A and B are shown apart, each in its own frame.
Chain A
Amino acid sequence: MIIHFDGDAFFASVEQTKDYRLQGKPVVVGQERGAPTSVSYEAKKFGISRGVPMKEIRKLCPHVAIVPSDYAAYSVYSDRMYAIARRFTDRVEEYSIDECFADITGLDTEYGMTYEEIALAMKKALEQELGLTFGVGLAPNKVLAKIASKWRKPSGFTVIKNETIIDFLKELQIGAVWGIGSATSIHLSGLGIRTALDFASKDSRWLDVHKISKPYREIHAELNGKNVKEMGESREDIKSIIKSRTFRPPTNDKAFLLSELSKNCEEACDKVRRHGMVPRFISFYLKTQEFSYHNFEFTLPVPTASASPIISLIRQFLDTVHRPKVLYRATGIALRGLVPPQQVGNDLFGEHERSKKNDSVVSQVDRLNHRYGSHTVFLASSLAAFGRERTRHSKKEETFASGLLPQPHTGKRLSIPFLGHIKV
């Protein structure tokens, strides 16, 4: 199941939260341009849209507030949107500054919630914490989720199920479907296709005869309820490897959490070695039952792809994130700043030489595991974690992409919006 989140009049709404005096008032963003980049719902009531030239806007609504675009602020709110979505699932696609997809397939059993409940919990967290509203669509795939999120705005929540697809497609103009541009929509209307349902109802023979190309066949399949479009990568390049695992029951036991982290670390190191890289930074997290992350990031004194020195550092830092009485449901680790080992320079204190010795042990372990199956040999520190049953979706939590963890609080940049003054 896929959720699509679409910020309602995103730039204008961010301007309204930045300056409370704009709340409830018609706001147009894009003072520096000839036409608006965003129009608040209050301004839309006056017939203002993004197509209306700036010089016409004052005539339509003399008291409208016209403000310049502030992309730095929009990207802070956008990063927060992605980070909040990622508390619930690693599988988030940052589609644009005001939209993202989240794949929540399988999380219903993991969280003991229905897909609708998960989608609503995500919507609530986004709206509460950002002070903005979102159109939210839940559907079996991305094309239908996009249709659903636009169905009711602002702050709508729409679910499309396989059995209700027809209700949504029968009145929908084919050109309103995601991925169908104006040229294609003209071409299709020449073939007698007016609505999304007209297109969805065609069989594969019709698609062959009219030489419908692959991207439109994918749209056709998704309009019929199949899930064929893959989740996209993050905007950033692949620069890190992440391993995480959810376990049951949730626990506060530090020794157990460390063994889970140890296992995450071994698996991540194994993968990073297969890519012939070494990480320069490590971040790890404990995920609470409330889906918030307690995390920590540190720089390795010597970049290494060997688990045991990393685990000793995690052991030292665990106390800084572990809180008494909090129940944790998952742990995870990200190996960041991946570089080829040749790029790593020598250090002053001989740490590098010591870690090379360790590397020869590691390559022996890799050979054994390669020959006799993974986890034939593992670190004693991971023992408790290996003893536990894996939860069903542990595999799916493996991710190979960057930026999948929320920025740790120890990150370099802390962008907290400043909202002005408070009178006391």
Chain B
Amino acid sequence: MQINGFAAGAEDELADTISIGEYLLRNKEASYLLEVEGNSMEKDGIFAGDMIIFERTSDYKKGDMIVYLTPDGYRLAFYSSAFSKEILGVVVSSFRRYKK
């Protein structure tokens, strides 16, 4: 697509504003926030203090980051068919603040 003689980028770059909520959420009514504690998942890009948004759903597949609940609180894992605990939902996004 050409706009004013310049080649336009990907479709979603055409919008000149972006709603952060819409960008981070998939199904708003099923979405919940958790704040990350600990650093065991830094290799996966999850750092202490990050906020993650998970969606309560039973729709997840192998490799999805999932949230489950233990008596000691919420935990993250990557789903595989061997996973036997009750799953609350799937992580849809995360965000991090550097300054406020």
Of A112-120, A125-133, A300-308, the one with at least 4 CB within 8 A of chain B? A125-133
Is A292 positioned at the interface, with any CB of B under 8 Å from its CB?
yes
* B 54-80 contacts with A by CB, 8 A: 55-58, 67, 69, 72-76
Known: A320-B12, A422-B34, A422-B74. A406 touches B21 (CB 8 A): no
Which A residues are in CB contact (< 8 Å) with B53?
416
Known: A320-B15, A422-B37. A416 touches B31 (CB 8 A): yes
Question: Smallest CB–CB gap between B19 and chain A, Å?
Answer: 5
| A24 nearest CB neighbor, chain B only | B71
Question: Do A421 and B37 touch (CB < 8 A)?
Answer: yes
* A 284-313 contacts with B by CB, 8 A: 292
Question: Do B21 and A421 touch (CB < 8 A)?
Answer: no
Is A211 positioned at the interface, with any CB of B under 8 Å from its CB?
no
Pick from B28, B56, B73 the residue with the most CB of A within 10 Å. Answer: B28
Partner of A420, one of B12, B21, B27, B35: B35
Is A191 positioned at the interface, with any CB of B under 8 Å from its CB?
no
Known: A421-B73, A422-B35. A84 touches B29 (CB 8 A): yes
What is the CA–CA distance of A129 and B30 in the complex, to the nearest angstrom? 4
Is A423 positioned at the interface, with any CB of B under 8 Å from its CB?
yes
Q: Scan A412-424; emit 1 where CB is below 8 A from any B CB, else 0.
A: 0010111111111
What is the CA–CA distance of A422 and B41 in the complex, to the nearest angstrom? 12
Is A83 positioned at the interface, with any CB of B under 8 Å from its CB?
yes
Is A409 positioned at the interface, with any CB of B under 8 Å from its CB?
yes
Main secondary structure of the interface of A (DSSP, over half): mixed
Is A319 positioned at the interface, with any CB of B under 8 Å from its CB?
yes
Partner of B46, one of A80, A129, A420, A424: A424
Known: A129-B27, A424-B37. A417 touches B22 (CB 8 A): no
Q: Scan A114-157; emit 1 where CB is below 8 A from any B CB, else 0.
A: 00000000000000111100000000000000000000000000
Question: Smallest CB–CB gap between A163 and chain B, Å?
Answer: 35
Partner of A319, one of B11, B58, B88: B11
Is A20 positioned at the interface, with any CB of B under 8 Å from its CB?
yes
* A 374-424 contacts with B by CB, 8 A: 406-407, 409-411, 414, 416-424
Question: Smallest CB–CB gap between B44 and chain A, Å?
Answer: 9
Q: Scan B33-44; emit 1 where CB is below 8 A from any A CB, else 0.
A: 111111111000
Which B residues are in CB contact (< 8 Å) with A130?
29-30, 56
What is the CA–CA distance of A411 and B29 in the complex, to the nearest angstrom? 13
Question: Do A131 and B56 touch (CB < 8 A)?
Answer: yes
Question: Do B34 and A420 touch (CB < 8 A)?
Answer: yes
Which B residues are in CB contact (< 8 Å) with A292?
27
Partner of B28, one of A20, A409, A418, A421: A409
Which B residues are in CB contact (< 8 Å) with A416?
25, 28, 31-33, 53
Question: Do B33 and A414 touch (CB < 8 A)?
Answer: no
What is the CA–CA distance of A80 and B56 in the complex, to the nearest angstrom? 13
Is B82 positioned at the interface, with any CB of A under 8 Å from its CB?
no
Question: Smallest CB–CB gap between B1 and chain A, Å?
Answer: 11
Partner of A422, one of B11, B28, B73: B73
Which A residues are in CB contact (< 8 Å) with B38?
423-424
What is the CA–CA distance of A131 and B87 in the complex, to the nearest angstrom? 12
A residues lining the B interface (CB < 8 Å): 20, 23, 80, 83-84, 128-131, 292, 319-320, 406-407, 409-411, 414, 416-424
Please, could you name 11 A-B residue pairs with CB atoms under 8 Å apart, sorted by A?
A20-B69, A83-B28, A129-B27, A319-B12, A409-B28, A414-B21, A420-B74, A421-B73, A423-B37, A423-B38, A424-B37
